[in-house]
Chain A
Amino acid sequence: MAIQFNRREEILNRLKQEGRILQMDSEEFFRNKEAINNLVFEIKREYQEKERMSIIAASEMILTS
């Protein structure tokens, strides 16, 4: 007989019934998310600049030894 195997759904259903799953939709959560998005954007810009300069510097690094 075929056995259907989906533990993830079982776990989520059980935890939902036990009231142990919470959707993150509070105002504080959205404020926090906005702050994270700003930080992520800042890190991305920093990385793009460092990556661009790394590529330029790499073209002058000749390796022969």
Chain B
Amino acid sequence: MKSKIIFCSIAELRAQLTPLIQEYFWVSTQIAEQLYDTRIIKHVNRWHVNVNILIEFPYVDRVYRDSYYKYFATKMTDYPRDCIRLSLFNGPVTPNEFRENLLVADLQKKYLGYMVLRPSQPNIVGRSMISPMALQTHQFLTLTSTASTTACSVKLIAEGFPHSSQDTETISCAETSVWAIMEYFASRYNEYKPALPSHIIEVLKDRFNVRQLPSGGLNMEHIAYALKKFGFGPKIYDANQFGPVDFPRLLSCYIESGIPLIVALDNRPTGRIGHAVIWVGHSYVTDTQIDTLPVATEQNTKLARLITARRISLFDNDDIKKEYVTIDDNYPSYQLTTFDRPTTYYADPAWATCRVTHFVAPLYTKVYLDAFEAKNHVKTLFLTLDFNFAPGTSIFLRVFLASSRSYKDYLTQNAKMQPDIRDFILETPMPKFIWVGELSDKTLIKKQQAAGLVILGATEKDQSNYKALVFAGHGDRHYYQDSDNKELKKISVTLGVFTIYSNNLKSF
């Protein structure tokens, strides 16, 4: 077996790649060209014109090898074992840059990630981690992770959200979503490990009464169960149960919290599609979207009465009609779509009627307080604590989950917050995760500022007697639990305005 290393531009890619596909994936020239024109081109067309590519063969891909030994090698038909890897760089790269010490350091700056091509035709686009910076348009906020990899034997770090197309035999959209979630979390947190296709099959074997290979897909409960076995405390949300107002708000709240969600898209019974995708971020919020945001409809009648009684106009950040960043195994990474029409990027009209029916939130096991209860509790607290809201006050509410480490780190750099309050919060003991409600108004939020704060401990499921309250403050009134006698105390200090927390999603 001959190894091949080719450096080329986007314009040269088809001519360089199709002979390799033909030779190494054991297909005819016609099929190799067809694979490029139907499967690869849709990825390449989104890349920036400056992107240059390094093609390498053979590449041993751990995910494909897992599927190969577990499944493809058990067939009579011969399947190749090796893959082709494309590494992306911003601008031209030459072989010398990979061999001269002084030039190697600059490669990392140019590196935009990789894409693996596997011999599972026609679905040959395998594992990829491509930076949003490789795309022609990347104006969005998204989650990314990093992975240590190599290109032409040089160690590099790729940044992006893990993506793979489904091979339809060992992994369908559902398994691919679980795989991508695990790749993401494993690269960011020590608590988690990557899950190969065979691991997913193994953890679910007792949940199936029928064979699992070839894959017939998973249901949403299987997805949640697999995530639980891989160390999460997942939660499932059904659109019919939470309704047309709360369901999209909860989804938005988790995305704002930096939690990647496995989202179910469905058009049955009128259609025949049930599909899993991952939502990992959202588009930038414009001033116009904030200006035109209507007053929030409160679903809980008691909370609605409290809002009316206090003569407050409440605006909910989760009501903004954002575009969501989607990782879809039928399409290249980072598709933008909306909650109401989640399959806008599909050319096939059969997909047009798909709607979001469920989502699974892979939460840290000790986040006992979910978004529904947390949001309602934030509202309850700021409406019932003795904050001095003048009648007619407008409040723009933004609620999100954050790690207390990240939140405190942000506070240390938030010079605008009143110093006493900032130091007080910084030295307040908190659980690993907290729910934060920032109180702002339309003018302040456009300047990325807030004027009030409610912090809840995410590990406290029992919200009675202010148990979940860590801190609440607005204007000149602030509340905290006294650590000695567990009673609520009020501090009188003027808070002023401060910069909002924005570390959950990365902007590109």
Contacts and interface: CB of A to CB of B under 8 A. Distances in A.
Interface of A: 6-8, 11-12, 15, 20-25, 29, 32-33, 35-37, 39-44, 46-47, 50-51, 53-55, 57-65
Contacts of B427: 6-8
B266 interface: yes
Contact of A33 (B172, B216, B465): B465
Contact of B489 (A24, A42, A53, A60): A24
Given A55-B221, A61-B219, A8 B424 contact: yes
B241 A54 contact: yes
Given A24-B487, A42-B302, 6 more contacts: A7-B423, A12-B424, A20-B493, A47-B373, A63-B173, A65-B217
Given A15-B491, A33-B466, A55-B221, A61 B358 contact: yes
A9 to B, nearest CB: 8
Interface in B167-209: 172-174
Contacts of A11: 420, 423-424
10 contacts: A6-B427, A20-B491, A21-B490, A25-B487, A43-B376, A43-B377, A50-B238, A57-B240, A58-B358, A63-B223
A7 B426 CA distance: 9
B307 to A, nearest CB: 13
Interface string B339-365: 000000000000000000110100000
A55 B370 CA distance: 15
B220 interface: yes
Given A33-B465, A43-B376, A63 B275 contact: yes
Contacts of A53: 238, 240-241
A63 B491 contact: no
Contacts of A46: 300
Contacts of A63: 172-174, 217-220, 223, 264, 274-276
A47 B423 contact: no
Contacts of A32: 384
A59 B220 contact: yes
Interface of B: 172-174, 215-221, 223-224, 235-238, 240-242, 264, 266, 273-276, 300, 302-303, 330, 357-358, 360, 370, 372-373, 376-377, 380-381, 384, 420, 423-424, 426-428, 463-466, 479, 482, 487-493
Contact of B463 (A40, A61, A65): A40
Helix, strand, loop or mixed for chain A's interface? helix
A43 B373 contact: yes
Q: Considering residues B479, B487, B491, which has the most beta carbons from chain A within 10 angstroms of its beta carbon?
A: B491
Identify the 8 closest CB pairs spanning chains A and B, nearest first: A64-B217, A58-B220, A8-B427, A54-B238, A65-B275, A7-B423, A59-B221, A63-B276
DSSP majority for the B interface? mixed
B173 A65 contact: yes
Nearest to A29: B488
A35 B384 contact: yes
A30 B353 CA distance: 52
Contacts of B235: 51
Nearest to A61: B220
Contacts of A58: 219-221, 224, 236, 238, 358, 360
B463 A64 contact: no
A64 B220 contact: no
Contacts of B426: 7-8
Contacts of B381: 36
A59 to B, nearest CB: 4
B172 A39 contact: no
Contacts of A7: 423-424, 426-427
Nearest to A58: B220
Contacts of A59: 219-221
B238 A41 contact: no
Nearest to A25: B487
A65 to B, nearest CB: 4
A65 B372 contact: no
Contact of B373 (A37, A44, A57, A64): A44
Nearest to B303: A39
B488 A24 contact: yes
B219 A65 contact: no
Contacts of A47: 370, 372-373
A8 B464 contact: no
Contacts of A23: 482, 487-490
B179 to A, nearest CB: 14
B377 A62 contact: no
A20 B212 CA distance: 65
A12 B372 CA distance: 33
B493 A57 contact: no
